[in-house]
Chains A and B, each alone.
Chain A
Amino acid sequence: MRAVLADLVSFLLYFPLLSASLLFRGTKRDAPYEQVNDHPGWSHQNEDKDEPDKYFHESSFSEHYDGRFATAPLIYEDRQSHLTALLRTYMSSMRDIGAETWIMHGTLLGWYWSRTILPWDGDLDVMISEKSLYHLASFYNMSMHHFSLPGAPNEPRVRHNYMLEVNPHYKNSSVESVNKIDARWIDTETGLFIDVTTLRRNKTAQALGEEDAMMVKDRHHYYHDDIFPLRSTTFEGVPVNIPFAYAEILIEEYGEEALSDVHFLNHRFDIEKQEWRALRYAELVRYREHGAMLGSTFWGKAADSESYFPD
């Protein structure tokens, strides 16, 4: 009798939980693993840890990977080329579709320094105009884009499938922490992705008389004329757009030093080659001892490290 009662209680407790989770699963979660991945295995998404309303999830091992398509992060040397391919395919697809998109944040900083992705940057930041987002949501949600990419040297080209997934909360333009990402461009081979955020009118500020106030759901605020008209330039060898007042935006976000410091996160900017590279161990030790300077030591070290520590 007592056992039966316990069973009943546990069943009554369990059932609503089950039904609730099934309900959320059906309406508010990113596309289920079984539907988007044709490889046998299991999902590495950390959806159980996220808020129930969150649509996009990240992998359990890194926030820069989609766990539905990856089991482990890429190594440092490989990540760079996959990110580059991710950006190129995104830009080319958006150009074909006619969507108005541009690079922002860390990606824009990489453009400013070297026209390439910063080597320590694990993700890419792009923005899209509201009109273009609605266009993507209406016609391109869950579309697969096939690219044949050059493989490693002396290897055949590899096929990569990229998926464009739009967040069903995209029409909600209020600031929120859970669904600030409006769309995602995902490399289904590696799980790397680009988060797409939308530049919207800031209706609150516009009601207060600031007519050209714009906002993004992740609490970034911009003026219309700082972003538009977009400038067209090149990045990673492909045509991209950047905001009009790129320098002001970078200083506003990262401070003046972001445009002048030649050392960052154990990387150093090579002025001759105009590119960032990771410091080798010996350089790292000297950097820790003598500090980071662009003085004669900087150039001297560049010369010494070439002779003492050949690649």
Chain B
Amino acid sequence: MPKEQRRENYEQSLGAWRARLQATNQTRKPLIEKVTNTWREDEKFRVAEECDTKEPNFCDLDDENSFPSLSVKAIRSRRFRRMFAVLVLVSVGMYYIWTRHIRPSVQEGWELKQGFLPAQVNGTYGVAKGGHFDGVRIKDIDATYVPGGNKDPEGNRRLIFVGDIHGCKDELKHLLKKVDFNSKTDHLVATGDVVSKGPHSPGVLDLLIHYGAESVRGNHEDRLLEAAKTLSGSDNKRDDAMSTSKGYSKDAELLKELKPHHMRFLHDMPLMLRIPALPFATSSWRKDKHNIAEETIVIHAGLVPHVPLERQDPYFVMNMRSIDHKTHVPSALRETKKGNSKPWMHIWNWYNNRLAKGRSIKGFHIWSYAEWLNQRVTGSWISNSWSSMSKKQPQPQPQVAVYGHDSKMGLQMHRWSKGLDTGCASGGKLTAMVLDAKGKTEIVQVKCDSYRT
């Protein structure tokens, strides 16, 4: 195409363009001005615009059935407010109960249960042969002394348990008077440590012998008996030791005061005294701390739960204060270096509570192959239901522990353990627990002079 022709064309089209532009500027307005929104006037869209729901009249404030009006009405109504307040209170209360009571007890229960389960540890306390005891380990109380027993059909007899006496003869006399002690119907049982510390150890022994009383062996009797073996015969054999240990020289002095019949009484003290469940006593409300309806074991310091009595180490029975809650190894200390220790009676109470509720102890530590075989046979569900139909597996029965030894803890009355040492020799009280044929217990105390030196 020639160059001139192209240029001509271009100018022509440019001219036409301009003409068109001028024409539109005069006749057309901006597009926005054409918007009319006439649909707004249309009735059928109106509600939908105010409230995003298809339900008619829902958000209409003038309509008394609409949601906002109903809510306002509800909030204004007293009944609703009351209900709401109750709901809030109940949930706060439940939260409180959960955090303060349920969760800790579930947690503690879980924690305590670990110590009974073999899978958690490499072994448990009570497996080893353990310590040695020169004397009777377990003594059953004479049947004549059992309140409501065969020899007491009327149920007039009583058992009087007394905490650590420690040679406080006057206080013991005073206490016996206070409980109206009658040697015809009452039997006196001491929890050990009847001698040492206080002023009249031989006098206390004479009194106990006079009343035909019984006592389990405490750590002080144990020490005295062992010392007697090395001290008897010669007065100055261990003079070097006496200047080293105050306790040793005191024991030596006391041994000089004691007569053979005193020593026999000390030696005859068993490690544990077992009292059968009282025939007239009925197992009452679970949490009743002042009722004993089950078998009772009297010991000086404590017992490890679930470990058979004959497997308990004598040293710990006379000395324990705490138990390692994982290995169940006791300690004479309140707190061990490991930091796993708990007061022994906590674990004891938890375990016996579990037995009393009839909850299973399957899977807990076992002590012999025969026991294991027995458990395995009754393990599957078929044989389980069979055995429950035919004969119930012998489940250990809960026991009440009556003890002394721990005067710092003071009087400890729980459903499954009764701590009676209230520190008489150091100016505390001497405590008696009176048990009648119906299983009711009563605490009687007298104040003591301080004999601490």
A positions within 8 Å CB-CB of B: 112-115, 130-131, 201, 206, 211-212, 214, 224-225, 228-233, 242, 244-248, 251, 255-257, 259-263, 269, 271-272, 274, 292-296, 298-300, 302-303
Contacts and interface: CB of A to CB of B under 8 A. Distances in A.
Interface of B: 117-119, 121-125, 127-132, 134, 223, 226-227, 229-231, 238, 240-241, 244-248, 313, 315-316, 319, 324, 327-329, 331-332, 336, 338, 340, 365-369, 372, 375-376
A225 B313 contact: no
Contacts of B313: 247
B230 A272 contact: no
A131 B240 contact: yes
Contacts of A115: 129
Given A229-B227, A296-B372, A269 B245 contact: no
Nearest to B333: A248
B369 A114 contact: no
Given A247-B315, A274-B129, A294 B123 contact: yes
Contacts of A272: 368-369
The 6 closest A-B pairs by CB, nearest first: A295-B118, A262-B123, A299-B372, A256-B329, A260-B327, A229-B226
Nearest to B122: A261
Looking at chain A's contact residues, the main secondary structure is mixed
Contacts of B132: 231, 233, 242
Contacts of A295: 117-119
Contacts of B130: 112
A247 B123 contact: no
Nearest to A269: B127
Contacts of B319: 245, 247-248
Given A113-B128, A233-B132, A257 B327 contact: yes
Nearest to B315: A247
A245 B219 CA distance: 10
Contacts of B365: 294
Contacts of B128: 112-114, 259-260, 269
Contacts of B376: 296
A236 to B, nearest CB: 13
Max chain A Cβ within 10 angstroms of own Cβ: one of B132, B336, B366: B132
A227 B428 CA distance: 30
Contact of B229 (A206, A229, A294): A229
A245 to B, nearest CB: 7
